[in-house]
Amino acid sequence: MRLTCPKSVLAPALALAARVVERRNTVPILSNLRLTATEGRGHPGRLEIFATDLDLAVTIGLDALVATAGTITAPAHLLAEMLRKQPDGQVTLEAEPERARLRVAAGRARCDLATLPAEDFPDFPDGSPKAVFRLDGAALAALLAPVTPAISTEETRYYLNGVYLHVAETPAGAQLAAVATDGHRLARVLAPLPEGAAPLPPAIVPRKTVEEWTRIAKAADGAIEIAAGDSKIALAASIDGVGLRLVSKLIDGTFPDYGRVIPNAPPHRAEVPRELLAAIVDRVATVATGKGSRAVRFDWSSDGLRLSVADADHGTAEETVDLDGWDGDALSIGFNAAYLTAALGAFSTERVAFRLTDPGSPTLIEPVAPALDAPGQTYVLMPMRG
């Protein structure tokens, strides 16, 4: 195998593929990328880059000047880092099977990397899709980014280690829903149902896949295609004219009935400036620097909202903010500062509405006057002792 390709095209493709590869692998071949060069008919040729960790796989295809076709594997992170550090211009990759080496040449620089046999590299079939639909990159990012912080990292409840993507029946009709929860908070985003998404099987998309989807969505050229089946889900997109396909296993489990957690018509409601509140939470929570949970106490009343923290080792802090629309008796409730900060960061509106019931019940947070084309967002926070 011998090919030449501009660094500006090859380096980003290798970096993207390397993100799929785990840095610590008990199976040596899975630390590598598979590189397949094919001579073109009527065009210079193609290079296909393939990587997998057996749960997620990416295939990237790009144009290259192929002198000799062939397939080889090379260390993913080492090759990506080597390409990143090469001078701009043309890069040549040349396999030397008899030495089990891949030569990387750019300008006057030369580097030989150890390789493994391509025939040992596993494949990763796509599966059989039941729903195929397209989303604009910005729309996909807006669907996933707000809910990602709420994904659980608790291995015992593995079915919460991803985003629940499904078709939800709402008063506005069927919508595409993305939901995540770790048991302490819940985030949900609703978006118009794309054409072709109606038969979407309920899918729990793993965190690693969601994070890659979000990165790709923010950089994609035009629409993104998603094909979902019972056990796998695939995303196809183009970035700077380079096509890629990401195929992922789904989490095999049952997502809980999250609708039971979302409060129904809480009696108390108040609006606050989102960025101002986030800044106040950050300031008062600074005092709680110990090993505790950084609980912030919220005292709601017709006089305003008072936020306070009392840390036995470091001291106290408090600050107040005006409220719009509070009605009813005073109410005190504690929130985890980190969870609340993440919730406020998930919204883009200037103001958010808090809807509360009592100190022991979940609190609902929603955007105030969202844009007409913005997705519907809901955030639920469980209370804690402040």
Does residue 204 form part of some domain?
yes
- List the structure tokens of 109: 């620089």
Per-residue pLDDT at 288: 76
Q: How many domains does the chain have?
A: 3
Domain end (from 99, 120, 141): 120
- Is 106 found in the same domain as 66? yes
Does residue 41 form part of some domain?
yes
Does residue 25 form part of some domain?
yes
Phi-psi region of 48 (alpha: psi -120 to 50; beta: other; left: phi over 0): beta
Structural domain including 82 reads 2-120
Does residue 386 form part of some domain?
no
Short-list 358, 375, 343, 162, CA closest to 263: 358
- Is 179 found in the same domain as 107? no
Instruction: Quickly tell me which residue has 């200037």 as its tokens.
Output: 350
- Helix, strand, or coil (residue 184): coil
Does residue 353 form part of some domain?
yes
Residue 89: which CATH number? 3.10.150.10
| Per-residue model confidence as pLDDT tens digits over 156-166 | 999 999 999 99
- Is 292 found in the same domain as 376? yes
- Is 287 found in the same domain as 253? no
pLDDT digit of tens for each residue in the chain (386 aa)?
999 999 999 999 999 999 999 998 889 999 999 999 999 776 789 999 999 999 999 999 999 999 999 999 999 999 999 999 998 999 999 998 889 999 999 988 999 999 999 999 999 988 889 999 999 999 999 999 999 999 999 999 999 999 999 999 988 899 999 999 999 999 999 999 999 999 999 999 999 999 999 999 999 999 999 999 999 999 999 999 899 999 999 999 999 999 999 998 899 999 999 999 999 999 999 887 655 557 899 999 989 999 999 887 788 999 999 988 887 889 999 999 999 999 999 998 999 999 999 999 999 999 997 655 556 899 999 998 64
Q: How many CA atoms lie within 13 A of 320 on its CB side?
A: 10
**pTM, whole model, 2 decimals?**
0.92
- Is 148 found in the same domain as 109? no
Does residue 114 form part of some domain?
yes
List, as one string, the DSSP characters of 281-350.
HHHHHTT--SSS--EEEEEEETTEEEEEEEETTTEEEEEEE--BS--SS-EEEEEEHHHHHHHHHT--SS
| Per-residue model confidence as pLDDT tens digits over 95-129 | 988 899 999 999 889 999 999 999 999 999 888 89
List, as one string, the DSSP characters of 25-82.
-SSGGGGEEEEEEEE-SSSSEEEEEEEE-SSEEEEEEEE-EEEE-EEEEEEHHHHHHH
Domain end (from 201, 230, 259): 259
